[in-house]
Amino acid sequence: MWFRNLLVYRLNLESPLQPDVLEAALATQPAKACGSQVPSTYGFVAPWGKGADAPLVHASQGFMLIAARQEARILPSSVVRDAVKEKTDEIEAAEARKVYKKEKDQIKDEIIQTLMPRAFIRKSTTFAAIDSQAGLIYVDASSAKRAEELLSAMREAMGSLPVRPVNVKQAPLATFTSWLKNHEASHGLMLLDECELRDSAEDGGIIRIKREDLASEEVQNHLAAGKLATVISLAWEDKLSFLLDDKLAIKRLRFEDLLQSQAEQDGGDDAASQFDASFTLMMLTLQSFIPQLLQALGGEDISQAV
């Protein structure tokens, strides 16, 4: 259940979103299987449980968990390209003429239509957690594109979704660089052993440092030469460790063993209770962590219009 990535979005609704309202909305956009000629589908599935009766919204202590699944037929471009070339060569040899672009495009479309039903289907699921009272949505995605796919599907299902990425008042790379220079972070955050440094010039080089003391002379020399920190590894209050970039994307998020053990103890032997306990503890942790992180980065910028 524990999220491994985190993209945080500010949700601006006049009143908190209710589970039953969200359930009804998501039910209008259910996940569907790919038809033989359908390149991909996208829709919502139950985050826990199987079958038609499994709810699309898992609600616990004011928090909500949802999941969206994409099914996509994988047809490698190299396979299509080779098939088009083979067909083109056959026509040119048999009819002693040149096959031009318009005809090649038609051949390509016919080949794709023929191969599509035999293409492999890849399934992927994206989870999102909603703290409606705090007005935050957490998406477990490693890229903004994948998170936006889920948010767009929510927007379509709900009719509107006033949401934007969380931002801070000062440039994160300036804060990261200051932490490295001073050998410490703030608000319960601790520097770990990884960072990425970039030259301030537009086409400047990038240096990636792993498993090193970030207070070392080597790192300090790079900073003195004008390089800025764009990625940094951090821990928070012995509960979390993660990699944070200057777009506020959290990757390689790890909830430490103490939290996981507590969730196992709270959930008992039942799988559903275990799932609920893990989700609830994760959200309670994020509820404390995200405000501290935003404060450490200079405070959230709430001036942007949603």
Summarised one tens digit per residue, pLDDT across range 96-136 is 899 999 999 999 999 988 888 888 889 999 999 999 999 99
**Low-confidence residues of the chain: pLDDT under 70:** 202, 304-306
Q: How far apart are CA 92 and CA 135, in angstroms?
A: 62
Tell me which residue of 8, 301, 291, 24 sits closest to 163, measured CA to CA.
8
Count of structural domains within the chain: 3
Domain-terminating residue out of 105, 137, 165: 165
**Residue 150 included in any domain:** yes
Instruction: Assess whether 12 and 159 both reside in one domain.
Output: yes
**Residue 305 included in any domain:** no
Residues above pLDDT 90, as percent of the chain = 71
Instruction: Assess whether 159 and 275 both reside in one domain.
Output: no
**Residue 160 included in any domain:** yes
Instruction: Assess whether 147 and 238 both reside in one domain.
Output: no
Instruction: Assess whether 153 and 67 both reside in one domain.
Output: yes
Instruction: Assess whether 19 and 108 both reside in one domain.
Output: no
73 neighbors 89 (Cβ within 8 angstroms): no
Instruction: Assess whether 225 and 182 both reside in one domain.
Output: yes
The contacts of residue 222 (CB under 8 Å, 6+ apart) are: 197, 207
Backbone angles phi, psi at 172, to 5 degrees: -55, -35
**Residue 243 included in any domain:** yes
**Residue 301 included in any domain:** no
DSSP 8-state secondary structure symbol assigned to residue 157: H
Instruction: Assess whether 182 and 263 both reside in one domain.
Output: yes
**pLDDT tens per residue across span 230-257:** 999 999 998 999 999 999 999 999 998 8
**Structural domain range at position 251:** 172-296
Instruction: Assess whether 154 and 86 both reside in one domain.
Output: no
Instruction: Assess whether 183 and 127 both reside in one domain.
Output: no
Instruction: Assess whether 273 and 230 both reside in one domain.
Output: yes
Instruction: Assess whether 136 and 227 both reside in one domain.
Output: no
